[in-house]
Amino acid sequence: MGSTSLIKITPMLPLSLLVLIALGMAAARLGRLGHAPAIATACLRAAVQLAAVSAVITWVITLPAAVAAFVLLMYGVAAYTAGRRITGGPGWQWAALPIATGTFPVLAILMATRVVSPDGIVIIPIAGILLGGCMTATTLAGKRALDELAQRRGEVEAALSLGFLPRDARLEICRPAAAQALVPALDQTRTVGLVTLPGAFVGMLLGGAGPLEAGVVQLVVLIALLAAEAVACVTTVELAARLKISLRP
């Protein structure tokens, strides 16, 4: 069997993956996290989905319409996933707004300034990185905002009694907690090169690029991702303050 310079594809690969899945499930079960079955299904879905993407990506990147359709598919899945995580039911569609406001303006800026190529082989992974980051930021910000509003309802009512408008009263309560959704992206940007060497950097090096070029690519990705997630968080908090998204009764 073949191999890459990073992962050796041998008969031991499936075994090692199964052992890792079992380890994750065992840790979740022993720790009573409640996610043991979800770990197995998530890993299975990842394997199936990556196999499907690997099968079609060569064809997709050659057709602009197929590239656009693929990005929209990723966007739809991200919005659905984040929305269902936040609301647990109806109203999940609102999650599409923060993901869009975070991802697409940043992607447009990168393309308009010719920092990234309009080729499908470039657009798809960059869009995927931005969509994934905005999905996570939207989920975390939405969950924390709604949890704060539910747990501190009395403080919202107190702010209203002091003359705050309903939106402003909710913002005072939920914004500080929701802002914590940016911490992972901030930490990743602050510690790059010291704690982690992210995928874009390593991938460029493995592809034959020099360290300087790989570093520039990774810097662009990190800054773009941080900007996109910041916009997504702000939009999510605004939606929560306006009660456009809410927990399922």
- Chain centroid, CA 204 distance in Å: 21
Residue 3: phi and psi, rounded to 5, are: -155, 160
| pLDDT(136) > 90 | yes
Q: Crossing angle for the helix pair 120-151 and 183-191, nearest 10 degrees?
A: 130
The 3-state DSSP class for residue 147 equals helix
Task: Read off the pLDDT band of 53 (50, 70, 90).
Answer: confident
Record the pTM. 0.85
Task: Read off the pLDDT band of 183 (50, 70, 90).
Answer: very high
- The Cα-based distances of 25 to 15, 37, 223 in angstroms read 15, 7, 34
What pLDDT does 6 receive?
A: 62
pLDDT tens-digit readout, 73-124: 999 999 999 999 998 777 789 999 999 999 999 999 999 999 988 898 889 9
Weakest mean pLDDT among 10-14, 55-59, 169-173: 55-59
Query: Kindly report the CA angle at 88 between 42 and 128, in degrees rounded to 5?
Result: 50
The 3-state DSSP class for residue 247 equals coil
For the chain, the distance separating the N- and C-terminal CA atoms, rounded to the nearest angstrom, is: 53
| pLDDT(195) > 50 | yes
| pLDDT(1) > 50 | no
